[in-house]
């Protein structure tokens, strides 16, 4: 072992302080389970609050089976959930911030939902566009 590979006490203490400060910034998970009857993943936070969500609404769990959801591990920091059967990780702060996925993933999901909207105005516009020959083709870059 090289002398530079040894962690100094001061470095360890500084890292421990940074970790403690990081944990103060938000809630941490103290328990997690899959509620088969409700069809939801339930996370209990250290604040006593429980959040529950359908797995198909969380990035990485969209296609998870009942057996995939039967085992959930909480990271030592309490900020991560791990589903070992499918090797899926959820980061609690990002989960809460982006509503069960990254902001980009959620934006894509919202676009899918919006694209399926079937209002009368949208149907009329689609019919009118179809009568004109549909969407114009993209021109190739010169």
Q: Give the C-alpha separation, 29 to 18, whole Å.
A: 19
Q: Are 77 and 19 in contact (CB under 8 A)?
A: yes
Instruction: Write down the architecture of domain 3-100 according to CATH.
Output: 2-Layer Sandwich (3.30)
Question: What is the side-by-side order of every strand in the sheet holding 73-74?
Answer: 73-74, 80-83, 88-91
> CB neighbours of 126 closer than 8 A, spacing ≥ 6?
none
3-class DSSP state of 90: strand
Per-residue pLDDT of the chain (142 residues; tens, 9 = 90+): 455 567 777 777 777 777 666 555 678 899 999 999 999 999 999 988 898 999 998 889 999 999 999 999 999 989 999 999 999 999 888 777 765 556 676 667 666 655 666 677 777 777 787 788 777 777 776 6
Residues in the chain: 142
The ranges assigned to domains in the chain are 3-100, 102-133
């Amino acid at each position: 072992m090289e002398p530079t590979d040894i962690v100094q006490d001061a470095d360890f203490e500084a890292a421990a302080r940074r970790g403690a400060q990081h944990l103060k910034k938000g809630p941490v998970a103290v328990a997690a389970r899959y509620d088969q009857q409700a069809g939801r993943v339930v996370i209990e936070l250290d604040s006593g609050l429980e959040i529950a969500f359908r797995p198909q609404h969380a990035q990485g769990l969209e296609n998870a089976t009942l057996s995939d959801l039967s085992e959930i591990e909480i990271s030592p920091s309490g900020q991560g959930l791990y589903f070992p059967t499918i090797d899926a990780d959820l980061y609690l702060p990002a989960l809460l911030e982006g509503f069960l996925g990254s902001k980009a993933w959620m934006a894509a999901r919202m676009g899918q939902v919006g694209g399926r909207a079937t209002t009368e105005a949208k149907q009329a516009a689609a019919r009118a566009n179809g009568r004109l020959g549909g969407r114009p083709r993209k021109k190739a870059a010169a």
